[in-house]
Amino acid sequence: MNIQIRKFYYGDIPDDKGGNTENTAALPIPLSGGGGDDWPLWEVFIRSKQGLDHKHVGSLHAADAAMAIENARDVYTRRMEGVSIWVVESKHIHATNPDEADLDVYIQMQVPSNPADPQSPTVQRPLMPVLLANQPYSGGIFFDYLQWWFMAIEKTSSGQWQPAFNAQGQPLMYESTPLLPQYLSLVTANFTQEIFMPDEILAQNFVLMANQPSLGILNDMRQQLSAQ
């Protein structure tokens, strides 16, 4: 089924309202199920006249890239403020999880030089806490599949961190249970029972403080914030 619509260009006012000459275009619009909602979702990026980069301004549904650009021009540049439009189908956007912790946390601990031999000479190594699955998920409680390990890391000559490997090219991994007393002595106790990520400890302690405020802490916060 096709329907016909009239398209008015910028500044045009239809029929009896006067204005510029009307420009019309007969555009076939296929209707399928829910109409436009069945079309792919597109992300729209626009560069302004004064801008040097494209910025995300919104999303819309369109049948293809040409229609997405045309619709983006109508919706987001009615005042001709944009000089360039990019559209990208949403399924091709790869994004980070804003709630995901950065892999920038490590701790220095005394550990056996050979993880497979607890009696090997002890060395101090930077370790990064990681969660590993003990088997593929087949139902049940998700957290029952997780095991906490420490992965040894080392800094390269360029200043980047990377896993430390053994002679067989495997990463040096340490079980957390034997190292837990040492780990807890280093991170110290906290009221949140969070021992994995420092940012989570700080966040939950802040919530605890807000829910059970102390006048002394609030006064210290006021002094710190007023000094900024």
Average pLDDT over residues 105-133: 92
- Domain extent listing, the chain: 31-92, 96-188, 198-228
Range with the lowest mean pLDDT among 52-61, 188-197, 210-219? 188-197
User: Taking 50 as the threshold, does the pLDDT of residue 40 lie above it?
Assistant: yes
With residue 76 as reference, give the H or E element that holds it.
helix 65-76
Q: In this structure, how many other beta carbons lie within 10 angstroms of the beta carbon of residue 118?
A: 11
How much is the pLDDT for 169? 92
Percent of the chain whose pLDDT exceeds 70: 69
How much is the pLDDT for 110? 96
Average pLDDT over residues 123-128: 94
How much is the pLDDT for 196? 62
As a whole number of angstroms, the distance between CA 40 and CA 29 comes to 15
Between the CA of residue 121 and those of 56, 165, 186, what are the distances in Å?
55, 17, 21
Of the pLDDT bands very low, low, confident and very high (cuts 50, 70, 90), residue 27 is very low
User: Taking 60 as the threshold, does the pLDDT of residue 1 lie above it?
Assistant: no
Does the domain formed by 31-92 have CATH 3.10.20.520?
yes
Q: What is the pLDDT of residues 134-178, one digit of tens each?
A: 888 888 888 888 898 999 999 988 888 899 999 999 999 999 999
Range with the lowest mean pLDDT among 39-53, 112-126, 132-146, 207-221? 207-221
How much is the pLDDT for 64? 93
Of the pLDDT bands very low, low, confident and very high (cuts 50, 70, 90), residue 45 is very high
Nearest CA to 36 out of 9, 92, 86, 75 is that of: 75
How much is the pLDDT for 207? 73
**Whole-number mean pLDDT of the chain?**
77
Strand 107-112 and strand 41-48: the pairing is: unpaired
Q: Name residues whose C-beta falls within 8 Å of residue 17's C-beta, 6 or more positions apart in sequence.
A: none
State the DSSP string of 188-221: ---TT---S-HHHHHHHHHHHHHHS--HHHHHHH
Of the pLDDT bands very low, low, confident and very high (cuts 50, 70, 90), residue 200 is low
How much is the pLDDT for 25? 42
